[in-house]
Amino acid sequence: MNEFNLNKDEEAAKFLREAYEMQMAGKVDEAIVLYRKSIVSQATPEAHTCLGWALSVKGQYGDAIRECEKAIRLDPEYGNPYNDIGAYMIETGRWDEALTWLEKATVAERYDGRFYAWYNLGRVWEHQGDWAQALEAYRHALEQNPEYSLAGKAISRMQSMLN
């Protein structure tokens, strides 16, 4: 047993919770250390995805994408890493490459934040000038989360451009 007297699953979950709290407090470097401890204790798709997120905050998009790819290998039905890779592709100007990842996120079986993927798809299609498809994606995002104000604003913007 380790110093916390926890099994590997409990220890990994503890480190993951602490890492998330650190990241939310703006302590990204500390969060990265804890995400890695969580992975060493018990590799999970959530920990790899969160580590990727923390690395992306530091501008390390290549490393962030690699962590998300590890998450996908652990659980291909977990939608978060697909969306995150798509978002990192957008951030690095790789708009066309983002589409495939975001489309996979919209159909992943285990993904509560599907509206993020729809919103990001809207961003790609808007960037590409396909305003009708962007509007449809933003509508999907808002249907799945009626409180997602970014989608509401995007819908208004697209409607004004199409009129």
What size, in residues, is the chain? 163
CATH top-level class of 113-163: mainly alpha
Q: For residue range 82-115, what is the model confidence (pLDDT) as tens digits?
A: 999 999 999 999 999 999 999 999 999 999 899 9
Give the C-alpha separation, 56 to 87, whole Å. Answer: 10
Domain range annotation of the chain? 1-110, 113-163
**Same topology between domain 1-110 and domain 113-163:** yes
Average pLDDT, the chain: 94
- Indicate the CATH number for domain 1-110: 1.25.40.10
Q: Tell me the pTM.
A: 0.91
For range 110-129, the mean pLDDT: 96
